[in-house]
Amino acid sequence: MNPDKLKIAILGGTGNIGEGMVLRLALQNLMTDGVKNEVIIGSRSRETADEAAKQALLELGNCGFDTSKIIITGNTNLEAAKAAELIILTIRFDHVLPLLDESREALENKILVTPVVPMAKEGNLFIYKPPAEGSAALAIQKKVPESTKVVAAFHNIPAGKLKDIVKCKAVHDAIVCSDDAEAKKLVMELAKNMGCLRPLDGGPLNQASIMESLTPMLINLAKLNGLKDLGMNFS
């Protein structure tokens, strides 16, 4: 798999995190020499995905970027997964496992990236609510074919800063966990090329629960302190 020429599917790519990922990954074609990503937005509806692709290209054009060198298309989640080499899940945990059942054959020998966080609201705040496997990442690994390389990443990245492709200069740390060294290396390279992230090796996939549990904490901190788009930085 060539990290400079990838077909990347973002399943659930019409949500906030998905929209930001689409823009950042597509822009790598312009910001990094030799990179040629084809970004495929996945949605339950092909029409919705097509419209999201058109809107993403329009936004990039309105921001002054040359969209002739950018490839963004839309399709159903299943067809997007079939076409891609690397798949990013940007959907809620309660929708993940049924989608993986539907897409199982399309996941063979692919890299599957999960920023999915299982959480629930308790009063006015959020709590981490992992499945029996201990984390969303481990539940996903259990569900997919053995040949699928699961990578946990992008859990604690503020959607607003991902989407702000013009003004956002802040660099947040992105922890990446996987049992597959090559898949981890590729995802870390993609993160680095986004321009607003510093990838950090977080170890094997069984460490993903620590990352996942930080997301509700960041949401709660933002709510309690009147803050917005909180991320993490280690020094």
Q: pLDDT tens, position by position, for the chain (235 residues)?
A: 665 678 999 999 998 889 999 999 998 888 777 668 899 999 999 999 999 999 999 999 998 988 988 999 999 999 999 999 999 999 999 999 999 999 999 999 999 999 999 999 999 999 999 999 999 999 999 999 999 999 999 999 888 888 888 765 668 899 999 999 999 999 999 999 888 899 999 999 999 999 999 999 999 999 999 998 888 888 8
Rounded Cα distance between 94 and 216, Å, is 16
Residue with tokens 């995905």: 49
Q: Which residues, including other chains, have CB under 8 Å from residue 107's CB and lie 6 or more apart?
A: 81, 87, 100, 144, 145, 148
Rounded Cα distance between 198 and 204, Å, is 18
Which residues constitute the domain of residue 99?
5-225
Q: Per the structure, how many domains does the chain have?
A: 1
98 within some domain:
yes
196 within some domain:
yes
Rounded Cα distance between 155 and 152, Å, is 8
Q: Look up the CATH number of the domain holding residue 112.
A: 3.40.50.720
pTM here is 0.94
233 within some domain:
no
Dihedral, 209, 180, 2, 193 alpha carbons, nearest 10: 30
Rounded Cα distance between 28 and 36, Å, is 7
